[in-house]
Structure 1
């Protein structure tokens, strides 16, 4: 018998079908933001259970959109499809197969096809203003966003094209290589910050005055500004680039909520390291924040529900280096004295934990190691890393436990762009 067995047994509810999610929806109540995590970017069950939860939130609680740890331009093509916009693909799969940035399998996979096809069908029966969207929160798409801005301005606002071209020309010498730009800003005083700020100010002012038609151009300008700042910070080293990225995702989420209007509600899909409140981990010792913490601070803890995910063993899709071919890799059993070991010993094979607000048992208040697998993964090195010290009951409001899990099912996509190395932990 393990130390926490009785507590785990008392908290765990079997999770076999979407009807078992009632207790979680009760906990969501009138919350404005629900964040659904994942312990890896390449696990089938994490995607399918997030989709099951999200379907119920959209159908029963009228959530307005899904915001994911992905790039805005890529996800915008999916959004146009699921919201049945003219000239958009009638099958979201056609938008997903165009994803080019490594790791494509994060969103270009069969599990996302299943969810986005459902979302399009759901939206087709709704009035246009009530259709649920699908958006990217991330900061990486500097060059793609610049091209989107120029294309949009050429058609809708030619007066702003010179500012966009000035920003584009400033970045052009770096051949769409973010590391080249980052290194250049480290060794010479010149950078593209002024050009980006000029572009952003113009688009922000016009978007605020002009409304919905300019929102996409404004958001792409915010990405260009955020990415430029991210690369300059990354060149200096340290952990601050993580904060630049998560603050950008937090600001994007808030812009989306404002854009959708009063009463709008958001579901967020991202890695546990972004979703689970950083203050309940060792991230805070390093001065790091994340979107789970920032959302609780911005909207209040009663308006935000954070749901973590975990597994004990199975398989996962990942690469052994940044840009390496994706592989189906083994996920070894959770290491000794970890959260995963404790749940494996006492919880049902699939279980849902919705945490009490008060009077939490030791398994929720003790610090336990909790696994985090990125897109770069070395199963043989698990004893040296891949675990985040966690106070479970403070990091999340609920937890989905899936003892044995299988790899996600990637699509065959175009040859990938390696793009930017992601921030610590590796590839999350």
Structure 2
């Protein structure tokens, strides 16, 4: 979950393109990262051998901002298998009966074999299906820079499907970019793909029932306002109170449509016919080109929460209506299984028809009161179950179990935190989770809890999910060194430079001045700033005239500057980042080994200051190694590796984080996703590593926010952003029925009908530092945390000038 969220945020930061997405999906032949709401390969598919993978690479481009990266491992004991990556959703209306030219640019690295373009078109004749394909494959050099490929193929006037893609027979890495279609020397524009609105919606909204258009339209399925408008109107409905009114903008040349909804059908209905009926009218229309309908078949395996896959498109053109409500009807064959397969064996598949009305160049089209029938029998589509509201018993249980918290208590008043300290008990490490860095109330509560545990409950060290080198400078401030903490906070990045954190640092500094024999420490555990660790080593831990160490640090700095950040799937890594055969990590490991060996020998001789100083030096060398390796990993692997390193760095502080360099009790201030004891089968957070190592010695406290605003980071200056309203079925839908601020113990939860919602996986707000389209992800509160702290209201943090 968090790993996917980090991937999305990184693509957003790299794209720097308009983030608004409307209506239909695009093929994205240009392979741009921000297309289709940052799902650039939404309409692409693949046929890959074992171990093969493809992804959009935002670090390699021909002339845009990305490319399609295909990695194929060497064949095992046989000739290399054919591989294809492409799309079968070409604009048939524009290519039927035409000689089509496909062009693209290709790049290779460590490549062995052939590669090129492939295209096919399928028609239906009296003799059956007539698939015709054309391929142009060449043996490409192992390390070919961008090279243009071209393929020409005729498309029959009767074609009902068309496909193009990259085809290979080999191993290594190959990139595809800037695909283009041309007819008679004229490049075809990349128009939206008809009836794909449902693919851009969250799964829960795809099957939401609104066939009489009484409910609000899904925002993400509305057409591009530059092309068309679609809104609910109540002037003269055919049925009920509202109807859909859609209109194409005058002078807009591209096709435009309005989304009507998606109707689910079962594979058991395969071979039958779905009849769609309703009412429509066309006001102000002129000319012969009237409105029509498009129906895209969608498929999904196992359950509708999985992503839908687009399939065949049907266009239906009933007689055009006039200015009065007119009944229309059209039929769609239900074909959810491939010819020759057993329909009963495929009942795990789900199907749905995504319905849209195609808008003419002039006039407004109104649609209302859609109904359905299968083989003449009325059919009532069913949407996803709607989560119920909290019951009176559940609300009463929550209010009895909630432990109220004070948000504006006097500095020395910790009475409301005493029970929470009892929950923490003798734990060696406590994770203080948060939804976002941008909430004033959340920062204030976390700072108050940290101050209480550090100054009243014998905790020694506050660890931040931030650069260890930058935190070391702040620790000097806590220990009484002169200077302003504001610029030191700014060096932490990602929202730490706030008035709330500054107030905590000043309070901890005052505490240390009053307790010089037992001062609290501040440290960082982040792995993503290896360059800062190098600088700290060079300027703070080693002498400037130490040629042995400084020369190797300079070489390390040069190597890190050449690393992609973070790299896409890289064949050179071979899924073994610890191996010297990685051409980038190998030199890093060699230099680090030389430094460790040389420094250990000098420490044994009493230089520079013995074994304790050697331990600190070795830790910073390890931080460099962690950061370099993290930069070499793909997105998914990088998430898990970073979390393991965070836990390793926390354990290091547990052994050395006290003021005298000995064992310490540590508070870790980090995101909910990092402190959680479990996330998913694919993702292992820092808290899971700590819980496996420390057992009951690790306590995880999560945070949830109800409503309000937060300060969101991004490409520009931080700006206030709204907290999305918690949908029904989210944990916050229950939590907001309690007090304004409280904490809830989760560790030994008695399962009753009133508390069962806490034992089930539900949506939970999950933001991070930057704003995101979807603020809720699936979590399991009672498995992830020992307690959750809930704040009903949130306002933006106060960023330092």
TM-score bracket for the superposition, by shorter chain length: 0.7 to 0.9
Q: Is the 8 A contact 2:430 2:668 kept in 1?
A: yes
Q: Which residue of 1 aligns with 2:746?
A: 355
Q: Which residue of 2 aligns with 1:421?
A: none
Asked if residue 55 in structure 1 is aligned to residue 455 in structure 2, the reply is no
Asked if residue 240 in structure 1 is aligned to residue 637 in structure 2, the reply is yes
Q: 1:386 to 1:211 in 2, by over 3 A?
A: farther
Asked if residue 290 in structure 1 is aligned to residue 678 in structure 2, the reply is no
- Map 1:15-414 → 2, pairs under 5 A: 15-16=405-406, 17=409, 18-84=414-480, 88-97=481-490, 99=491, 101=493, 103=494, 106-128=495-517, 130-151=518-539, 152-155=541-544, 158-172=547-561, 174=562, 178-179=564-565, 182=567, 191-202=583-594, 204=596, 206=599, 210-234=610-634, 237=635, 239-260=636-657, 263-278=663-678, 283-285=679-681, 287-300=682-695, 302-319=696-713, 322-344=714-736, 346-360=737-751, 361-378=755-772, 381=773, 385-412=774-801
Q: 1:224 to 1:191 in 2, by over 3 A?
A: farther
Q: 1:20 to 1:257 in 2, by over 3 A?
A: same
Q: 1:218 to 1:78 in 2, by over 3 A?
A: same
Q: 1:83 to 1:214 in 2, by over 3 A?
A: farther
How many residue pairs get matched?
383
List per-residue Cα deviations over 1:127-156 (Å, max 9, x = no partner): 35x221111111111222222222333348
Distance of 1:197 and 1:411 partners within structure 2: 39
Report the secondary structure of 1:66's partner residue. strand
**TM-score normalised per structure 2:** 0.45
Q: Is the 8 A contact 1:363 1:392 kept in 2?
A: no
Larger radius of gyration: 2
Distance of 1:354 and 1:31 partners within structure 2: 16
RMSD over aligned Cα atoms: 2.5
Q: What's the CA shift for 1:81?
A: 0.8
Q: What's the CA shift for 1:185?
A: 6.1
Larger helix percent? 1
List per-residue Cα deviations over 1:364-384 (Å, max 9, x = no partner): 211111111122214xx3xxx
Q: 1:100 to 1:368 in 2, by over 3 A?
A: closer
List per-residue Cα deviations over 1:302-342 (Å, max 9, x = no partner): 111111111111111113xx423211111132121100111
Distance of 1:183 and 1:405 partners within structure 2: 37
Q: 1:201 to 1:119 in 2, by over 3 A?
A: farther
Report the secondary structure of 1:311's partner residue. strand
Distance of 1:148 and 1:185 partners within structure 2: 30
**TM-score normalised per structure 1:** 0.82
Report the secondary structure of 1:182's partner residue. coil
Distance of 1:184 and 1:168 partners within structure 2: 23
Distance of 2:584 and 2:630 partners within structure 1: 12
Distance of 1:116 and 1:390 partners within structure 2: 32
- The more displaced of 212-221 and 302-311 is 212-221
Q: Is the 8 A contact 1:123 1:131 kept in 2?
A: yes
Q: 1:246 to 1:2 in 2, by over 3 A?
A: same
Q: Is the 8 A contact 1:41 1:373 kept in 2?
A: no
Q: 1:335 to 1:316 in 2, by over 3 A?
A: same
Q: What's the CA shift for 1:201?
A: 3.6
Distance of 1:123 and 1:140 partners within structure 2: 30
Q: 1:258 to 1:12 in 2, by over 3 A?
A: same
Which consecutive unaligned segments of at least 5 residues does structure 2 have?
Answer: 1-388, 574-580, 605-609
Distance of 2:612 and 2:477 partners within structure 1: 18
List per-residue Cα deviations over 1:166-198 (Å, max 9, x = no partner): 3223234x3xx743x736966798643233223
For CA contacts below 8 A with separation 6 or more, give which structure has more relative contact order. 1
Q: What's the CA shift for 1:11?
A: 1.3
